[in-house]
Amino acid sequence: MKRIFALLGIVLALVVSGCAGLQNTSAGAGRTLDIYFLDMMGGASTLIVTPLGESVLIDTGSLEPKHRDAERMYKACMDADLTQIDYLVTTHFDTDHYGGILEMSKRIPIKHFIDNDTPPKDVRKRQSFKKLNPLYKQATKRRTKLLRAGEDIPLKNDPTGKIAAIRLHCVASQKRLEAFAGDIDAPVEGFEMAKPDTSNNAHSIALVLTYGDFKFFAGGDITLNVEHHLAHPVNRIGKVDLYQVTHHGLDRSNNTILLKALSPTVAVAMNGPRKGIQPRTFAALNALPSLKAIYQIHYNTQYGEKGNPPPQFIANKDNPTKGQYIKAAVNPKQGSFTVQIGPDGKKRRFTIQ
């Protein structure tokens, strides 16, 4: 009997020490805020994992080829030790941003679904929407919430205040901005505005993530006129440390006025081999005095050095099917963040502005 009690004692001690280990992890002691930019071959998916272990997946890549993007998203979740996605955000209903959602929902539990609600009429008529919309409904079970400009995604904060404050804020959605009643496409004196954009892209959700002094902007595929009003006459976002290059680096987005207002230190482009970064955007980013590095998911086969950083900043250059992600890890206490390619890539350190 004594031996049984002794054994029970050992088991109990192991359980307690195991729980203590878990508590350390969930309390976020020494943990970074991690952002994974996933290779969706010209689509988009960004995984955010907070120091408290909460997760946000922004967009879910494409449906075809079968399961590729879902597998890549799932692998990143495994690398990040996740057992669920807390918030899944669909910035807009284009095939390269929500095609992988059903397959992803089969691989990992998803707690909350957030989107920009019904897409514009011309999109609802498209064959691709008629094909994907039922899969979206199957994945979400219609439990979706519209995210409006000015609203937050309610991430947990550390009640003791030991971990810096974290906030995920929506600055644009449905072609609307917070406290802006005007017409996004109306002429603005002194500026050449783009033609009115009635597409899905202009209606994208755009998010700002802050963690202590660190700031990250992920604007989905918003286009020039929405970007203009985010930067002018008031800089609604402020300077950012990390910039997810909007709309895969295409020139119909990435308004120079906004790029200057954001003044990012590092830009990461979710491009494809034949999709972005286009030369005007690439040149505008490189002209920013603040910019220290541009990272790209793929080598851009169209524009040579007018659309590509040096090879060490490209995640999938020689093997375009490798599916390597780019990861940023943020530590406001050290006043810096690192960026690396893949789970074992060389970490480059950048100072938080």
Residues of this chain that bind Zn ion (CB under 5 A): 96, 221
| Rounded-to-integer distance, Cα 215 and Cα 248, Å | 20
Hey, how many other C-beta atoms are within 10 angstroms of the C-beta on 210? 18
Cβ nearer to Zn ion, comparing 224 with 330? 224
Cβ nearer to Zn ion, comparing 48 with 222? 222
**Beta-carbon-side half-sphere exposure of residue 260 (alpha carbons within 13 Å):** 9
Cβ nearer to Zn ion, comparing 96 with 197? 96
CB neighbour class for 109 (10 Å; exposed up to 12, middle 13-18, buried from 19): exposed
Q: Give the helix, strand, coil percentages of the chain, each rounded to 5.
A: 30, 25, 45
- Which pair of tokens denotes residue 154? 């309610």
Least distance (Å) from Zn ion to the CB of residue 36?
A: 17
- For residue 22, the SS3 value is helix
CB neighbour class for 182 (10 Å; exposed up to 12, middle 13-18, buried from 19): exposed
Computed on alpha carbons and rounded to an integer, the radius of gyration of the chain in Å comes to 21
| Rounded-to-integer distance, Cα 281 and Cα 277, Å | 7
Least distance (Å) from Zn ion to the CB of residue 132?
A: 14
Least distance (Å) from Zn ion to the CB of residue 281?
A: 14
Least distance (Å) from Zn ion to the CB of residue 296?
A: 15
Helix boundaries (H) for the chain: 2-27, 68-79, 95-98, 101-107, 121-124, 127-140, 224-231, 256-262, 279-286
Cβ nearer to Zn ion, comparing 214 with 217? 217
Cβ nearer to Zn ion, comparing 140 with 253? 253
Least distance (Å) from Zn ion to the CB of residue 237?
A: 20
Cβ nearer to Zn ion, comparing 103 with 221? 221
Cβ nearer to Zn ion, comparing 199 with 331? 199
Q: Which DSSP string corresponds to 238-302?
A: ---SEEEEGGGG-TTS--HHHHHHH--SEEEE--BTTB---HHHHHHHHT-TT--EEEEEE--TT
Least distance (Å) from Zn ion to the CB of residue 198?
A: 16
Cβ nearer to Zn ion, comparing 247 with 327? 247
Least distance (Å) from Zn ion to the CB of residue 116?
A: 13
Least distance (Å) from Zn ion to the CB of residue 221?
A: 4
Least distance (Å) from Zn ion to the CB of residue 275?
A: 8
Chain mean position to CA 350: 19
| Rounded-to-integer distance, Cα 190 and Cα 288, Å | 22
Q: Which residue is nearest to Zn ion (CB)?
A: 221
Cβ nearer to Zn ion, comparing 96 with 227? 96
- For residue 316, the SS3 value is strand
